[in-house]
Amino acid sequence: MVQKKTACNRDCPDGCGLIATVDDGRIVRLAGDPDHPVTQGFLCHRTSQFLKRQYSPQRITQPMIRQNKNQAGDRWETVSLDSALDLVADRMNYFRDQLGPASILNYRCGGSMGMMKYVTDFFFQEFGPVTIKSGDICAGAGDWAQAIDFGTQDSNDFFDLLNSKTVFLWGKNVYVSHVHLLPILKQAKSRGIQLVLIDPVHHRTAALADEFFQIQPGADGPLALGMARWMLDRERLDPAAANYCDQWDGYCDLLKSRTVNQWAALADMAPKTLEHLAELYSDGPTTILAGWGMQRRRNGAASIRAIDALGAASGNIGIPGGGVSFYFPRKGAYQLDFLDPGSAPRAIPEPLLGSGIEAACDPPIEMVFVTAANPVTNIPDSRTVQRALNDRFTVVVDMFMTDTAKCADVFLPAASMLEDDDLLGAYGHHYLNTMQPVIDPPGDAQTDYEILRQLAPRVGLGQPFTDDVSQWKRKLTRRLAASGISLEELEAGQTRNPFAAQVAFAGRHFPTTTGRANLLTDYQHPPTCVTREFPLRLMALSTAQAQASQWPSEKQQGPAVLTVHPSVAGNYQEGDVVEIESELGRLEVGLKFDSSQRADVALMDKGGWVSQGRCANLITPAELTDHGQCAVYYETPVKIL
């Protein structure tokens, strides 16, 4: 037996270091790297079970072509890799030559967070440039907000929490979405650091927190503004804030536009509760760890901006133990200057992918190339996405026959993360890591880059797509090499990003055009209220059981589970199978009761499969947030029929 180090590339903030034990060419154990300062030798449930996915009998390792697509009796035919790539190249060349490269869409999402995946984008940039997506279904609103407010996204060092007096977990379920925060939070709590949870959903993190406030969904902005108004009235905002914040007078006017009681009413919160939260927050230094769910609403960017402004105006930015941590710059250490997204002739907002593909004209989109993604499952209005892909020549690179792969003309088998060769950052801390193949891919499975290397000569591309992965890694790490960190050093073990400060925006210096933080001056985005006809908001939340749509097939049998407060179920009993309805359609679900939840929410697990009728996106309309082109996942009004 031999142990090999690699890393987890899945869409998770933790970016874990992995140790795989290999016996006679087969991985027999997967564990967390004890030398990684964040991983600390343990894995989340999802990754600890990854070997079941690695060796699943349902994994596809040979290329396939779909015959008689969209006709009765269509079927898949296994072919050689050369035959599959010849067909893909033929279609790419044809559509580019006949209609122009904008007739081809390159769609890549977060199935892998590796830096080599950006070479996929570069490939299609050089081939075309082709149509691309814009925005971000998961984080676009928050990305936009923090770029406006602070000039960029960054956070204090992962371990800086221990310098806080209070930590606000604002919309953050660490047991599911940031499990490697738990040791540091428990250590903080043992030192007397106060943990405060704000969330419309009751979840396991509530038991960890010292105090839990179950707010109205979408009320984060009014709550943050009301807290700031309370602090303004008591002169507990930073008296020097006007020196490092633009729009100070406008921000104060916004706070004064409502009384504390009026802001509390807009947040559907008792004034005394809001005042208590403001007092807790003002007794700093205070860190806000902002979850990603709150900005997946119509007012998502405004919510993050209100929280950013609270952090800046209170003096909790640029100091140890403070900050508003939404994201760590996972790409910041790497050299990605070969990319030019502005060269694309057209971009479709990602949450509107299905309708955007269908509406595209002059030229129409005739071909879609999908990597690291399962958009039929993961993008709202799944049926439109499904139809759009079925009606076009679609290529899907994946390990399994996903809902998206079922729409393909050509299926190309992908290497798993334990067979991949890549570079990683993390969006939950500042450590860099490398992926190195633990074993060879089975059959004809290939990494995304190896597929592109073989496509390149077929579509008239040469250098730099003749380079191997090691050559690309050296290109991607040029900045690091110039700072004294070699590729060999990275491959020997995780390294902290040398360009990341211990304290983000230290000295209250921001990479904005003025060098100051930018405060919001207007808030016109009240929470969406439920109605008598549709009294529940559907929220399909991340789960500890599966990564996005990467569910084991045995867990996708029967109807999806809908968790509600028992008071909203009428005459139904727990376990009954019912239908829920939105303006987009109906979905069959099994009822589960939880009296700890609010009576205006209906909860499902994220990533249910369309093919099994378990996908919340079947009845979630495709909408954009106020800014940033993020998906509006958590505001779909539904009713139990």
pLDDT score, position 257: 97
pLDDT score, position 294: 94
pLDDT tens digits for 553-571? 999 999 999 999 999 999 9
CATH number of the domain encompassing residue 581: 2.40.40.20
480 and 361, same domain (yes or no): yes
Distance of CA 199 to the CA centre of its chain: 18
Position 18 in a domain: yes
Q: Quick check: 414 and 399 in contact, CB under 8 A?
A: yes
374 and 313, same domain (yes or no): no
Biggest CA-to-CA distance, the chain: 73
263 and 365, same domain (yes or no): no
pLDDT tens digits for 490-499? 998 889 999 9
- Domain housing 601: 536-640
Q: What is the helix (H) or strand (E) element at residue 102, kind and residue range?
A: none
580 and 617, same domain (yes or no): yes
CATH number of the domain encompassing residue 30: 3.30.200.210
Rounded average pLDDT over 312-321:
98
316 and 351, same domain (yes or no): no
351 and 485, same domain (yes or no): yes
pLDDT score, position 558: 93
Bridge partners of residue 634, in order along the sequence: none
Rounded average pLDDT over 354-373:
98
CATH number of the domain encompassing residue 243: 3.40.228.10
Contacts of 138 (CB under 8 A, 6+ apart): 11, 110, 292, 296, 630, 631
Q: Structural domain tally of the chain?
A: 4
Name the one residue in this structure whose structure tokens are 């798993």: 416
Position 523 in a domain: no
pLDDT score, position 311: 98
Rounded average pLDDT over 98-106:
98
Position 74 in a domain: yes
Binning pLDDT at 50, 70 and 90, where does residue 466 land?
Answer: very high
CB atoms within 10 A of CB 376: 32
pLDDT tens digits for 219-260? 999 999 999 999 999 999 999 999 999 999 999 999 999 999
Q: Which of 518, 548, 567 is the last residue of a domain?
A: 518
Binning pLDDT at 50, 70 and 90, where does residue 73 land?
Answer: confident
pLDDT score, position 529: 77
pLDDT tens digits for 520-532? 999 988 887 788 8
CA 7 vs CA 31, 217, 286, 422, 440: distances in Å: 10, 35, 32, 9, 16
239 and 376, same domain (yes or no): no
pLDDT score, position 170: 98
DSSP assignment letter at 584:
T
pLDDT tens digits for 22-67? 999 999 999 999 999 999 999 999 999 999 999 999 999 999 999 9
**Closest residue by Cα to residue 309 from 200, 232, 407, 416:** 232
294 and 245, same domain (yes or no): yes
Rounded average pLDDT over 390-407:
97
pLDDT score, position 493: 85
307 and 350, same domain (yes or no): no
Query: Would you list the DSSP string of 150-169?
Result: HSS-----GGGGGG-SEEEE
Position 529 in a domain: no
- The pair of structure tokens assigned to 439 is 């074993």
Position 524 in a domain: no
pLDDT score, position 71: 77
Query: Average per-residue pLDDT in the chain?
Result: 96
Query: Could you tell me where the beta strands, DSSP code E, fall in 14-117?
Result: 17-23, 26-32, 64-67, 75-78, 104-108
Rounded average pLDDT over 459-475:
96
107 and 233, same domain (yes or no): no
Q: Quick check: 482 and 464 in contact, CB under 8 A?
A: no
CB atoms within 10 A of CB 82: 12
pLDDT score, position 440: 97
Q: Which of 496, 527, 544 is the last residue of a domain?
A: 496
288 and 254, same domain (yes or no): yes
Position 249 in a domain: yes
Q: Quick check: 572 and 637 in contact, CB under 8 A?
A: no
Contacts of 565 (CB under 8 A, 6+ apart): 593, 594, 595, 597, 598, 599, 601
Position 45 in a domain: yes
DSSP assignment letter at 459:
G
Q: Quick check: 248 and 241 in contact, CB under 8 A?
A: yes
78 and 176, same domain (yes or no): no
Q: Quick check: 618 and 383 in contact, CB under 8 A?
A: yes
Rounded average pLDDT over 308-323:
98
Amino acid at 412: L
pLDDT score, position 68: 83
**Closest residue by Cα to residue 177 from 537, 427, 500:** 427
pLDDT tens digits for 270-291? 999 999 999 999 998 999 999 9
Position 220 in a domain: yes
CA distance 169 to 287: 9
